[in-house]
A and B are shown apart, each in its own frame.
Chain A
């Protein structure tokens, strides 16, 4: 056993090139298989994304984040037209349901911060965005 492990007569009689060729072929096959598995999967993702997203209107695109959260887009749009760049505003929204990380009310505040930029959200202001869950 020891003699075989440490280099008995059998391995040295094999052409050394065979192991390398088999290893190289296996490696290339594995990489090709990876590319094929991924390619087969990703082509569906690409096709679905194009089919789903290419039909969006500019309004749907503008409200995409809010729509995903089932927010009332009209309420956000109505407030946004009143805002000037760098104008301070506050958000009045009930806490709402608790999610895994933050409340629904906190998500509204976050979305308002994003949607109303370049107006600036602060804790208290003269101009207040009021939002209620339906």
Chain B
């Protein structure tokens, strides 16, 4: 019964997400809405997360009624916005896509058997995320007695509330704080992200490359292991990864909707975890490097993200909440840094080792690195520059956190190294299909050009 309720709530999130597609400009007709409907589920989860997290700050609880209202508004908006536009037409199913879907369904069913029986026993999962989700469910809002309470400082109170809010929506739907089925919501994050990547890239990337990339990502042991811990790192990585793929598409095509989608996903990332700020900053700097002529669009996008983060930052400021792990202000504390600068290279190397570990991520990062070189060799500039810039910046930023932290670095690094790299790896993996397809297109164009030139030179 509880499982049905949780799935029902997620179905309403999907419907709510459908309305986001015309709103973001992703779908300007019924045909495009159907073609890109795979984005709806992730958009719906992020939308519900953002709305419920913000409502939690003003004493408004978000449950079945909120979901139903949002879904109804979404359908109404679709009907109004897409009225009279091109209808979808029947297309013969792509057999590669059919095989890909079948493989993913089989994988999700296998994963599901583990997720629906997992216990909530990992420290951060209960001490941070589920505790906050339970408090939101029990009190109906981010009551400062817990969310700013001195006895709850251990729970990283300055972390934003998107994930606990989604957990709380699930608890309200189920009518109970269920520490077992909460894991299923994490698996649903994976489904949403895979569907989103498929819908986002299907018209730019050959089917076989796209599906192999998606399956390689879904099978990565770190994806399964980290989702099962019910930590926020993988949900952050998945939302951020879809944003990175959308941003990569925008770099190539300059489609406004792709940037709008990326901005929306980055807002979700910012509201999932503090580290999201580092990754989103890295991506915007990468976008600026790769498409500096389009700085106005980037400035608008960055402003939207800051605006969506603002209510939470005001709450944090009003209640004087601090990060208990590190302070960015320590970047300017010479006395502190002097003794810890050696930590930087160690962290940088250690994180590289984690990203390249095939028992965690398969060959995703080596493939990404080789594709970057190939893309540059084929004459592509903007996309590989964007990819290279944000990954290096994010990697350096993560390493810097270990430098400025006051924790003993080896313990801190050992306990977090596996998961902090998730966003970098998933974001990079999300760019693999685009990099491959664009390199292929370049090579093909060169081949045709060379063939024409060669033919012309034959006497």
Contacts and interface: CB of A to CB of B under 8 A. Distances in A.
Interface of A: 12, 16-17, 19-20, 23-24, 27-28, 30-35, 37-39, 41-43, 45-46, 49-50, 53-54, 56, 60-62, 64-65, 67-68, 85-86, 91, 100-102, 106, 109-111, 113-114, 117-118, 120-123
A122 B146 CA distance: 9
A134 B366 CA distance: 49
Given A12-B450, A68-B121, A100 B362 contact: no
A28 B208 CA distance: 8
Contacts of A50: 113-114, 117
16 contacts: A12-B450, A16-B451, A30-B367, A38-B220, A39-B219, A49-B228, A50-B114, A100-B408, A100-B415, A109-B154, A110-B127, A111-B126, A113-B127, A113-B152, A117-B131, A117-B146
A107 B209 CA distance: 47
Interface stretch (B3-11, B285-293, B314-322, B441-449): B441-449
Nearest to A122: B151
A122 B118 CA distance: 31
A96 to B, nearest CB: 15
Contacts of A42: 219-221, 224
Contacts of A54: 113, 117
Nearest to A35: B216
Interface in B396-451: 407-408, 411-412, 415, 432, 436, 439-440, 443-444, 446-448, 450-451
A69 to B, nearest CB: 8
Interface in B5-57: none
Interface stretch (B134-142, B246-254, B264-272): B134-142
B65 interface: no
A121 B212 contact: no
Main secondary structure of the interface of A (DSSP, over half): helix
A14 B224 CA distance: 45
Contacts of A101: 407, 411-412, 415
Interface in B141-175: 145-146, 149-152, 154-155
A60 B123 CA distance: 16
A35 B145 contact: no
B367 A123 contact: no
Contacts of A114: 126-127, 130-131, 134
Contacts of A121: 149, 151-152
B119 A106 contact: no
A23 B447 CA distance: 13
Contacts of A19: 443, 447
A41 to B, nearest CB: 5
A20 B443 contact: yes
Nearest to B358: A37
A106 B213 CA distance: 44
A106 B228 contact: no
Contacts of A31: 209, 212-213, 216, 363, 367, 432
Contact of A27 (B122, B436, B444): B436
B2 interface: no
Contacts of B220: 38, 42
Q: Which 7 A-B pairs have the closest CB atoms?
A: A64-B119, A16-B447, A100-B411, A118-B138, A34-B362, A34-B363, A38-B362
B215 interface: yes
A106 B180 CA distance: 25
Given A42-B220, A117-B134, A60 B119 contact: yes
Nearest to A30: B367
Contacts of B139: 86, 118
Contacts of B447: 16-17, 19-20
Given A35-B219, A65-B120, A109 B415 contact: no
B254 to A, nearest CB: 26
A121 B350 CA distance: 38
Given A16-B450, A38-B220, A117 B154 contact: no
A60 B415 CA distance: 25
A30 B127 CA distance: 40
Contacts of A28: 208-209, 212
A50 B358 CA distance: 23
Contacts of A24: 440
B216 A113 contact: no
Contact of A46 (B113, B209, B454): B113
B89 interface: no
Given A53-B119, A61-B179, A121-B149, A37 B362 contact: yes
Nearest to B152: A113
A111 B126 CA distance: 8
Contacts of A49: 114, 117-118, 228
A12 B362 contact: no
Contacts of B121: 64-65, 67-68
Given A19-B443, A34-B363, A86-B139, 11 more contacts: A12-B453, A27-B367, A31-B216, A42-B224, A50-B114, A64-B121, A65-B126, A106-B154, A110-B154, A113-B152, A117-B131
Contacts of A122: 149-151
Contacts of A109: 151, 154
